[in-house]
């Protein structure tokens, strides 16, 4: 059985790979469905439903509202259907990118979020990329370096990254820049570009301001990443195959890069999703401090000020969906580069 | 000749007894011995103990009540008073601060302005009687220090005149309490879920792992912001405190549960487990009495490492106004108003508490790291 299995695997690696990808995709969808259940239940837990809120708003404009009106509105919005049905409808629409209307703002959520969500995702992914661009070389150096100065200073940096959460860092930078430059460096766009169409000038304006949130969000991610890379590398460096390679005459950067680094980068690719998760955790608070106008700020707005559960649910679902997406992509990348991973899933 | 032989003999004896002490030492003694060798961790531990004591005895150590009750209406947004020993008017053995007056006149455009009177000194006194507080169930009104007249504000005051020094010390207490409850809840949840998952394995494990993974994928802070937003405003500040602690506990469990599960999965096939099972021990008994003690030290280390994240999450939640609220003091509550341009430009002493919290978190991280290294039995052989 094992023989034929192995032969089968060897004969059709393509089929093997497709099978693996399909399994992972199915797992991702199941995760998303479970997450949507959590998010949807949370939305349902809020006292009062959309119909009541909508009519309460109408009431403020002077119209007389009766219980029958509320019931009629419930039927119109489909709120009279059982829980599971509504969840089903919500998730089917959510997978098509439609989250319905926010009943507080009475606007379509997809339109409201649209660009803002992509900007947030872009900022987060850029800071993640930045974190690893710094962490991989630095981590490798610190794992192989014997110099106590290098090691201790890197240790200090990573401890500071852990102890100084991003929002405190953001606060400190604001304090500093207000005292020194007299400008708090907040916002994502200058006034004249806030609602303008995308153009070259708007992109440049965005870039001139986006570096700060990117730096702040990347701060503790970098500290974490350096620690991970360092730990993985120090585990690998002492192993026999590295010694064997150096005995064969490979040395210096070439040795590190071809042998231990390749092994230790696998788990890092695998954990990208969780790094993104950590960055998302900080996003709303950093957004609040820097008064950014993107999804994180909208989430705070939706939760802290207006109790807008549809909007909050949509944002949390989208954030989670992007993490699940990243996890899926990294798994595929890993499987493409590392056959051991494929085997571990398919047995 | 015989002397050297005797010396060698005693050396051997000492060596022997050292070895014996090493081999008969309990896990705790071994960890402590390794922990003592790490300077950074020991410094961290000392700072941590100092901060915990500062938090516990905050009502005594600080001169005023941290809530609106202890506010100083004559010194709002007041700069820190730094005790001095001498100035142009001469030297004094007792440290003193200047008195301040709050005035409003046509010169100040009818705004309240605090002026410092350098000629009138207020001397620092020890053990004055002040605001009443309860410590260990007994009512006191003696504080460690104060001034003979008016009030002293080492870290200045905030917009309503509350003493930032008192608030900082009280908020250390709150953060430690929230962290402890949060960690305990996370711990219990992790033990139950990770324990069941790891002990039974098979399909129970698969399903529990799938749920854990799904929960782990959702960004915790946005999710719990959503939950915290639904706490009605009518809940009392104590009730809010407990709800927030529970929420923090829920943030922490998945990582810990995974650790417990992984460990149980490897341990449950050991012979001593089989022996216990053959003696007819029920699952709960085997997990509690035989499996858990085999990795208690790891669990303790994990708890200490996850502690700062609890504290920081609480700070973040309170900061955006979804966590704790006045009159409870915590770092997040203290920082709620500091993003205003007015505060950033003119009242920077509102940021002083941040220093204490970075120290607190760093101390926890150092101790946690030191303990992790100390609890690893292979730490010595690796080097």
Q: Is B264 exposed, middle or buried (0-12, 13-18, 19+ CB in 10 A)?
A: buried
Angle at the Cα of B356 from the Cα atoms of B353 and B361, rounded to 5 degrees = 125
In chain A, which segments carry CATH 1.10.3720.10? 113-346
pLDDT for residue B60: 79
Q: B354 contacts in A (CB within 8 Å)?
A: 168, 171-172
pLDDT for residue B267: 78
Q: Is A30 on the interface with B (CB under 8 A)?
A: yes
Across B220-244, average pLDDT: 77
CB contact under 8 A, B215 and A282: no
Which CATH number is A113-346 given? 1.10.3720.10
Binned at pLDDT 50, 70 and 90, residue A3 comes out as: very low
Query: Is it the case that residue A154 has pLDDT exceeding 70?
Result: yes
Across A218-234, average pLDDT: 81
Q: B interface toward A at CB cutoff 8 Å? A: 210-211, 213-223, 225-230, 232, 308, 312, 315-316, 319-322, 335, 338-339, 341, 344-345, 348, 351, 354, 357-358, 361-362, 365-366
CB contact under 8 A, B219 and A277: yes
What is the C-alpha to C-alpha distance for residues A102 and A111, in angstroms, rounded to an integer? 11
Is the Cβ–Cβ distance between B371 and B35 less than 8 Å?
yes
Shortest CA gap B276–chain A (Å): 33
Pick among A27, A165, A277 to test the B interface (most B CBs inside 10 A): A165
Query: Is it the case that residue A5 has pLDDT exceeding 50?
Result: no
What is the C-alpha to C-alpha distance for residues A296 and A105, in angstroms, rounded to an integer? 17
Phi, psi angles (nearest 5°) of residue B324: -70, 155
Q: Which residue of B has its CA nearest to A291?
A: B339
What is the C-alpha to C-alpha distance for residues A283 and A322, in angstroms, rounded to an integer? 14
Q: Which residue of A has its CA nearest to B367?
A: A159
Is the Cβ–Cβ distance between A242 and A258 less than 8 Å?
no
CB contact under 8 A, A175 and B216: no
Residue that wins the pLDDT comparison between B345 and A139? A139
Which of the listed ranges A135-139, A176-180, B111-115 does the model predict with the highest average pLDDT? A135-139
Binned at pLDDT 50, 70 and 90, residue B215 comes out as: confident
Angle at the Cα of B267 from the Cα atoms of B266 and B268, rounded to 5 degrees = 100
pLDDT for residue A194: 60
Q: Is A168 on the interface with B (CB under 8 A)?
A: yes
First to last CA, chain B: 39
Across A164-187, average pLDDT: 72
Q: 3-state DSSP call for residue B163?
A: strand
Query: Is it the case that residue A341 has pLDDT exceeding 70?
Result: no
Query: Is it the case that residue B119 has pLDDT exceeding 60?
Result: yes
pTM: 0.76
Q: Biggest alpha carbon distance in chain A?
A: 88
Phi, psi angles (nearest 5°) of residue B335: -90, 0
Binned at pLDDT 50, 70 and 90, residue A182 comes out as: low
What is the C-alpha to C-alpha distance for residues B23 and B21, in angstroms, rounded to an integer? 6
Give the model confidence (pLDDT) of A263-275 as tens digits.
Answer: 777 778 878 888 8
Size of interface A-B (CB pairs under 8 A): 126
Query: Is it the case that residue B33 has pLDDT exceeding 70?
Result: yes
Is the Cβ–Cβ distance between B307 and B179 less than 8 Å?
yes
Residue that wins the pLDDT comparison between B93 and A30? A30
pLDDT for residue A8: 45
First to last CA, chain A: 12
Q: Is the peptide bond before B327 cis (omega within 30 degrees of 0)?
A: yes
pLDDT for residue A337: 74
Phi, psi angles (nearest 5°) of residue B132: -80, 145
Give the model confidence (pLDDT) of A238-261 as tens digits.
Answer: 778 888 888 888 777 777 777 777
Region of poorest pLDDT, from A15-24, A272-281, B69-78, B206-215: B69-78
Residues 6+ apart with CB under 8 A from B112: B76, B102, B103, B104
Residue B26 CA from chain centroid, whole number: 28
How large is the ipTM? Answer: 0.71
Across A38-42, average pLDDT: 80
Phi, psi angles (nearest 5°) of residue B374: -70, -30
Q: Which of A31, A163, A289 sits opposite B214 (nearest CB)?
A: A31
pLDDT for residue B382: 44
What is the C-alpha to C-alpha distance for residues A226 and A159, in angstroms, rounded to an integer? 11
Count CB atoms within 10 A of the CB of residue B324: 29
Shortest CA gap A20–chain B (Å): 18
Query: Is it the case that residue A184 has pLDDT exceeding 70?
Result: no
Angle at the Cα of B262 from the Cα atoms of A325 and B363, rounded to 5 degrees = 85
Binned at pLDDT 50, 70 and 90, residue A195 comes out as: low
What is the C-alpha to C-alpha distance for residues B55 and B179, in angstroms, rounded to an integer? 13
DSSP string of A282-342? HHHHHHHHTT--SHHHHHHIIIIIS--HHHHHHHHHHHHHHHHHHHHHHHHHHHHH-HHHH
Q: Which of B352, B357, B341, B310 is nearest to B55 (CA)?
A: B357
Q: Which of A277, A281, A304 sits opposite B229 (nearest CB)?
A: A304
Mean predicted lDDT score pLDDT of chain B: 77
Q: 3-state DSSP call for residue B339?
A: coil
Across A284-288, average pLDDT: 79
Residue that wins the pLDDT comparison between B203 and B3? B203
Which of the listed ranges A317-326, A330-339, B10-19, B296-305 does the model predict with the highest average pLDDT? A317-326
Binned at pLDDT 50, 70 and 90, residue A7 comes out as: very low
What is the C-alpha to C-alpha distance for residues A163 and A70, in angstroms, rounded to an integer? 51
Give the model confidence (pLDDT) of B287-312 as tens digits.
Answer: 778 777 777 777 777 788 788 888 88
């Amino acid at each position: 059985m094992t023989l034929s299995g192995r032969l089968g695997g060897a004969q059709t690696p393509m089929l093997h790979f497709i099978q693996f990808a399909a399994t992972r995709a199915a797992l991702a969808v199941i995760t998303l469905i479970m997450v949507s259940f959590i998010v949807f239940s949370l939305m349902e837990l809020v006292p009062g439903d959309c119909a009541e809120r909508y009519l309460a708003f109408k009431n403020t404009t002077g119209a007389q509202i009766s219980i029958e009106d509320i019931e009629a509105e419930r039927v119109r919005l489909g709120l009279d259907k059982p829980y599971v049905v509504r969840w089903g409808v919500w998730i089917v629409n959510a997978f098509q990118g439609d989250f319905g209307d926010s009943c507080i703002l009475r606007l379509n959520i997809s339109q409201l979020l649209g660009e803002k969500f992509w900007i947030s995702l872009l900022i987060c992914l850029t800071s993640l990329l930045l974190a690893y661009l710094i962490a991989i070389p630095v981590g490798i150096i610190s794992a192989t370096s014997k110099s106590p100065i290098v090691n201790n200073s890197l240790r200090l940096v990573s401890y500071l990254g852990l102890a100084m959460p991003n929002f405190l860092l953001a606060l400190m930078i604001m304090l500093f820049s207000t005292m020194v430059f007299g400008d708090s460096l907040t916002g994502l766009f200058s006034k004249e570009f806030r609602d303008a169409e995308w153009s070259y000038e708007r992109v440049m304006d965005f870039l001139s301001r986006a570096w700060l949130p990117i730096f702040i969000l990347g701060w503790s991610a970098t500290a974490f990443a350096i620690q991970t890379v360092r730990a993985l590398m120090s585990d690998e460096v002492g192993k026999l195959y590295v010694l064997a390679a150096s005995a064969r005459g490979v040395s210096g950067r070439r040795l590190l890069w071809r042998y231990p680094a390749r092994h230790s980068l696998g788990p890092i690719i695998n954990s990208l999703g969780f790094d993104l998760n950590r960055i998302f955790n900080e996003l709303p608070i950093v957004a609040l401090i820097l008064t950014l106008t993107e999804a994180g700020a909208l989430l705070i707005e939706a939760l802290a000020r207006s109790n807008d559960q549809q909007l909050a649910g949509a944002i949390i679902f989208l954030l989670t969906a992007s993490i699940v997406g990243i996890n899926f992509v990294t798994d595929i990348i890993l499987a493409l580069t590392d056959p051991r991973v494929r085997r571990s899933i398919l047995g | 000749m015989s002397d050297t032989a005797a010396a060698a003999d005693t050396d051997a004896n000492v060596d022997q007894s050292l070895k014996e002490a090493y081999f008969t030492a309990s896990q705790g003694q071994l960890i402590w011995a390794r922990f003592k060798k790490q300077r950074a961790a020991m410094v961290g531990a000392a700072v941590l103990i100092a901060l915990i004591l500062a938090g516990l005895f905050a009502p005594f150590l600080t001169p005023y009540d941290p809530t609106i009750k202890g506010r100083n209406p004559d010194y709002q947004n007041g700069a820190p008073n730094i005790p001095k020993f001498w100035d142009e008017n001469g030297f004094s053995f007792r440290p003193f601060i200047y008195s301040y007056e709050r005035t409003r006149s046509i010169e100040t455009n009818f705004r309240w302005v605090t002026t410092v009177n350098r000629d009138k000194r207020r001397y620092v006194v020890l053990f004055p009687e002040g605001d009443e507080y309860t410590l260990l169930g007994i009512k006191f009104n003696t504080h460690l220090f104060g001034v003979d007249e008016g009030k002293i504000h080492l870290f200045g005051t905030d917009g309503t005149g509350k003493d930032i020094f008192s608030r900082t010390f009280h908020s250390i207490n709150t953060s430690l309490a929230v962290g402890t409850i949060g960690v305990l809840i996370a711990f219990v949840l992790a033990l139950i879920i990770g324990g069941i998952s790891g002990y039974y394995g098979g399909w129970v494990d698969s399903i529990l792992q799938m749920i854990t993974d799904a929960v782990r994928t959702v960004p915790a802070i946005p999710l719990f912001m959503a939950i915290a937003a639904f706490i009605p405003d009518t809940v009392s500040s104590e009730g809010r405190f407990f709800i927030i602690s529970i929420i923090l506990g829920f943030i922490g469990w998945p990582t810990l549960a995974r650790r417990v599960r992984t460990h149980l999965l490897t341990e449950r096939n050991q012979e001593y487990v089989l022996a216990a099972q053959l003696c007819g021990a029920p699952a709960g008994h085997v997990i509690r009495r035989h499996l858990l003690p085999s990795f208690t030290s790891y669990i303790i280390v994990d708890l200490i490492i996850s502690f700062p994240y609890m504290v920081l999450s609480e700070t973040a939640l309170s900061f955006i106004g979804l966590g704790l609220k006045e009159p409870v003091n915590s770092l997040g509550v203290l920082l709620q108003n500091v993003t205003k341009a007015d505060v950033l430009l003119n009242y920077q002493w509102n940021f002083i508490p941040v220093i204490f919290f970075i120290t607190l978190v760093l101390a926890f991280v150092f101790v946690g790291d030191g303990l992790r290294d100390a609890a690893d039995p292979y730490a010595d052989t690796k080097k």
